[in-house]
Amino acid sequence: MNSPVSYTTEEIAKLLKISKLTVYDLIKKGEIPSYRVGKQMRVDASDLEAYKQRSKSQLLKHDPSPPPISMMIPPHSLSGGSTQNSSTAVITGQDISLDILVKHLESQQTSIRPLRSYGGSLDSLISMYQGKADIVSTHLWDGDSGEYNLPYIRKILNGFSYLVIRLLSRQAGLYVQTGNPYGLQGWKDLALPGLRLANREKGSGARILLDEQLRLHHIDRTALLGYEDESTHHMAVAGKVASGEADVGIGIEKAASIVGSVQFIPLIQEQYDIVMLRTPERQEWIDLILQILHSDSFRRELGAIQGYDLSETGKILLET
């Protein structure tokens, strides 16, 4: 008898284009059945397909209750985006702060139906340009100006009317092994020969930050061992450093505190912003999100997460 096809959590994350942590969350909630083989969690292909069909059927039936946060809808799967239904808002980005924002949106007595999608900062902005996302998050650093987000937003959304709002600030920097055996202190130290890197995927804010720093410090990326090996979230990068698979990685402070057994070297204050297109039918979303961002309940919940600076949360940075 042939064994049924099964997937690891990492394979499922790649198939659904979501983070590995989200896969674990789905398994924990019982939305995707799983079993353990040794130290590895596995999911049968039939169970994964059943989950996908349930998600599709819930959308097709236009269930009046909002979908759970865990329903992931990749931007490219929404033909024509959400503009065909003004009550549906596709919110794209990877940070947990967006999950909290969606939860607060769902708790409001409103016609807005938020749909959560996961993607890197650059891919999220491109999805907005293509009409496949309504609200996106971004943390893209521009090495020439030293500015976050606005240089990229202006170029990609040229000709659009939009609003840029500060969601939070957070420290970004290097993950190194406990004790920092290589004595890494800054970006220039990435030129150290033989250093093994745990890298992020193309289009992510961490990958853009790394590439810009390598460019400014005239470091040959091809000399970095592991540069072509990509992980899809900060936790995976921190985990590789903690386990000894890599010597250094780029990410945010929060992931280092969760993973443990890894040291974090802060190098830059990262600005994490959200972008919304401005049209008359979207004004309800804009007003409601601004209201949530300034609410005490949202700030309390977000402020409980280590490493988040909320001093400018809700500040309008740019209107066009």
**pLDDT tens, N- to C-terminus, the chain (320 residues):** 444 688 888 888 888 877 776 787 788 777 888 887 766 778 888 888 888 877 766 544 444 433 333 334 333 333 334 444 446 788 999 898 999 998 998 888 677 788 888 889 999 999 999 988 899 999 999 999 999 999 999 999 999 999 999 999 999 999 999 999 999 999 999 999 999 999 999 999 999 999 999 999 999 998 899 999 888 888 899 999 999 999 999 999 988 888 888 999 999 999 999 999 998 888 888 999 999 999 999 999 999 888 899 999 999 999 99
In order of 9, 36, 109, 258, the CA distances from 39 in angstroms are: 12, 7, 44, 20
Report pLDDT for 47.
84
Max CA separation in the chain (angstroms): 63
Q: Which of 211, 214, 19, 237 is nearest to 120 (CA)?
A: 19
What is the Cα gyration radius of the chain? 20
Cβ atoms of residues 237 and 255 within 8 Å: yes
Tally of CA atoms within 13 A in the half-sphere of 66 that contains its CB: 22
- DSSP-derived pairing of the beta strands 162-177 and 308-309: antiparallel
In degrees, to the nearest 5, what angle opens at C-alpha 236 toward C-alphas 14 and 17? 20
Cβ atoms of residues 265 and 173 within 8 Å: yes
Show the 3-state SS of the chain: CCCCCEEEHHHHHHHHCCCHHHHHHHHHCCCCCCEEECCEEEEEHHHHHHHHHHHHHHHHCCCCCCCCCCCECCHHHCCCCCCCCCCEEEEECCCHHHHHHHHHHHHCCCCCEEEEECCCHHHHHHHHHCCCCCEEEECCEECCCCEECHHHHHHHCCCCCEEEEEEEEEEEEEEEECCCCCCCCCHHHHHCCCCEEEEECCCCHHHHHHHHHHHHCCCCHHHCECCCCEECCHHHHHHHHHHCCCCEEEEEHHHHHHHCCEEEEEEEEEEEEEEEECCHHHHHHHHHHHHHHCCHHHHHHHHCCCCEECCCCCCEEEEC
In degrees, to the nearest 5, what angle opens at C-alpha 203 toward C-alphas 28 and 186? 95
The Cα 74–Cα 126 span in angstroms is 13
